[in-house]
């Protein structure tokens, strides 16, 4: 699998249930949210802006994706402060490997570069170096409509945070409408 294939397979809204275990705090960050993923073309202005900000030749880019988070019961539009843009730069030698640019990191809210690879079974591994931390995330699809993510954050003295997220694809209003039409036809 390539990163762009992973982005396309992930496009849509997902109901995410997240469990967080912090080794240095009793604070519980577990919860439920919606994750909204949109695929971006390589000429999308947001992709080009990140390339420019991180001094990267846009010709190396295959595209990107927008990741937005919102409370799962929220009826408001997603808050742009809870959005991250990832830009894919695949390895010219192996499309299952590469790096991505991110406008703001998951662990530290700064622009970062991550390295990814896909195993033969489709499991994606992302390694990201931050200023003070290292992050590792693994994600895979159980089915087309159910995926899992696990991550760790490590600081100088060891693992600080572990997360587990299970994500179910949300049914679109259009799909529900088609089901209702068939039900009453």
Query: CATH no. for residue 85?
Result: 2.40.128.20
Measured CA to CA, the distance from residue 185 to residue 182 in angstroms comes to: 5
Counted domains in the chain: 1
Instruction: State pLDDT tens for residues 78-115.
Output: 777 778 999 999 999 999 999 999 987 665 667 889 99
pLDDT of residue 23 exceeding 80: no
Average pLDDT, the chain: 88
Burial of 184 (0-12, 13-18, 19+ CB in 10 A): exposed
pLDDT at 22: 80
For the ranges 10-24, 32-46, 124-138, the maximum mean pLDDT occurs at 32-46
Instruction: State pLDDT tens for residues 145-177.
Output: 999 999 988 877 776 889 999 999 998 777 777
- b (16+ CB within 10 A) / e for 106-122: bbeeeebebebebeeee
Domain extent, residue 135, equals: 3-183
Measured CA to CA, the distance from residue 135 to residue 71 in angstroms comes to: 24
Neighbouring C-beta atoms of residue 38, cutoff 10 Å: 17
């Amino acid at each position: 699998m390539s990163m762009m294939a992973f982005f396309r397979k992930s496009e849509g809204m997902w109901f995410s249930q997240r469990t967080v275990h912090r080794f240095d705090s009793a604070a519980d960050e577990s919860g439920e949210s919606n994750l909204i993923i949109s695929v971006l073309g390589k000429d999308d202005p947001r992709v080009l802006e990140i390339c420019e900000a991180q001094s990267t030749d846009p010709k190396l880019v295959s595209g990107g994706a927008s990741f937005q988070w919102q409370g799962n019961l929220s009826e408001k539009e997603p808050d742009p402060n809870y959005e991250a843009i990832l830009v894919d730069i695949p390895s010219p030698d192996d499309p299952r490997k590469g790096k991505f640019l991110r406008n703001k990191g998951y662990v530290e809210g700064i622009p970062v570069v991550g390295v990814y690879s896909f195993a033969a079974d489709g499991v994606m591994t992302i390694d990201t170096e931050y200023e003070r931390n290292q992050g590792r995330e693994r994600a895979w699809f159980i089915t087309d409509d159910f995926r899992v993510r696990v991550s760790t954050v490590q600081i100088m003295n060891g693992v600080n945070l572990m997360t587990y997220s299970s994500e179910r694809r949300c049914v679109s209003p259009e799909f529900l409408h088609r089901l209702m039409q068939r039900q009453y036809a």
